[in-house]
């Protein structure tokens, strides 16, 4: 995996302006309605999508960007932020009820994406959610991103697709695709 530290530092600096309370509320409400008690965001950046989770949850965030994690730690004392890679998550098998990504998988090369999907599956105990830029035929968006068909990517795993729809623009202005999976 090619990790551009300068790109991700700039991304972290701009992350607070990307905060979308509607998406954070949607994610929290979804995890609660699914009767989950632990949540992990992979590629959590500054932790904006985890801030509304109640302290009754075990809340985890993983990112490679130590700069972003330091910002996240300053914003939340109840979340356990860890430096780590999607290809080697620091969690036991099936240990987190609700594992999600939001705009991360579009930035990964093919090898990293495949290893990452395997790791997400491994650590997930119940549910997996991906909110990513979608295309039926995966294609380059720009020099850093590739659109993904995440529902198709999960076909080789023991999961049931609960939802595979475009997010409403009020919840996710960038119109990401919402894929929710139940691990079998």
How do residues 114-153 score in pLDDT, each as one tens digit?
Answer: 999 999 999 999 999 999 989 888 888 888 889 999 999 9
Q: Which pLDDT tens digit goes with each residue over 6-31?
A: 777 777 767 777 777 899 999 999 99
Question: Band of the pLDDT at 164, cuts 50, 70, 90?
Answer: very high
Domains along the chain? 5-183 (3.40.50.150)
Where are any strands of DSSP class E within the chain?
Answer: 38-42, 58-63, 79-83, 96-102, 124-132, 159-166, 177-183
Q: How far apart are the first and last CA of the chain?
A: 29
Question: Band of the pLDDT at 1, cuts 50, 70, 90?
Answer: low
Residue whose C-alpha is closest to residue 32's, from 62, 50, 54, 4: 54
Three-state secondary-structure class, residue 106: helix
Question: Band of the pLDDT at 175, cuts 50, 70, 90?
Answer: confident
Using alpha carbons only, give the angle 58, 60, 61 rounded to the nearest 5 degrees.
165
- What pLDDT is recorded for position 136? 87
Question: Band of the pLDDT at 45, cuts 50, 70, 90?
Answer: very high
Burial 72-87 (b: 16+ CB within 10 A, else e): beeebeebebeebbbb
Helical (H) or strand (E) element with 97: strand 96-102
- What pLDDT is recorded for position 98? 98
Beta strands 177-183 and 124-132, pairing class: antiparallel
Q: Which pLDDT tens digit goes with each residue over 50-107?
A: 999 999 999 999 999 898 999 999 988 899 999 999 999 999 999 999 999 998 999 9
Angle formed by the axes of helices 66-75 and 5-15, nearest 10°: 20
Question: Do residues 101 and 130 lie in contact, with contact meaning Cβ atoms separated by under 8 Å?
Answer: yes
pTM of the model: 0.90
Q: Which pLDDT tens digit goes with each residue over 108-117?
A: 999 999 999 9
Question: Band of the pLDDT at 167, cuts 50, 70, 90?
Answer: confident
Using alpha carbons only, give the angle 68, 150, 46 rounded to the nearest 5 degrees.
10
């Amino acid at each position: 995996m090619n990790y551009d530290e300068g790109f991700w530092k700039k991304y972290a600096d701009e992350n607070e302006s990307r905060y979308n309370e509607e998406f954070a509320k949607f994610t929290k409400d979804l995890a609660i309605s699914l009767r989950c008690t632990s949540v992990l965001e992979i590629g959590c950046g500054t932790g904006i999508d985890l801030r509304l989770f109640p302290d009754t949850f075990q809340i985890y965030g993983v990112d490679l960007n130590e700069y972003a994690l330091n910002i996240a730690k300053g914003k939340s004392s109840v979340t356990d932020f860890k430096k780590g890679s999607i290809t080697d998550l620091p969690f036991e098998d099936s240990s987190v009820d609700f594992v999600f990504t939001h705009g991360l998988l579009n930035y990964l090369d093919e090898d990293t994406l495949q290893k990452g999907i395997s790791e997400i599956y491994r650590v997930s105990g119940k549910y997996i959610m991906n909110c990513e830029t979608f295309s039926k035929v995966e294609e380059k968006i720009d020099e850093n991103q590739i659109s993904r068909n995440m529902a198709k990517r999960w076909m080789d795993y023991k999961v049931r697709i609960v939802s595979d729809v475009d997010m409403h623009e009020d919840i996710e202005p960038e119109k990401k695709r919402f894929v929710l999976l139940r691990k079998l």
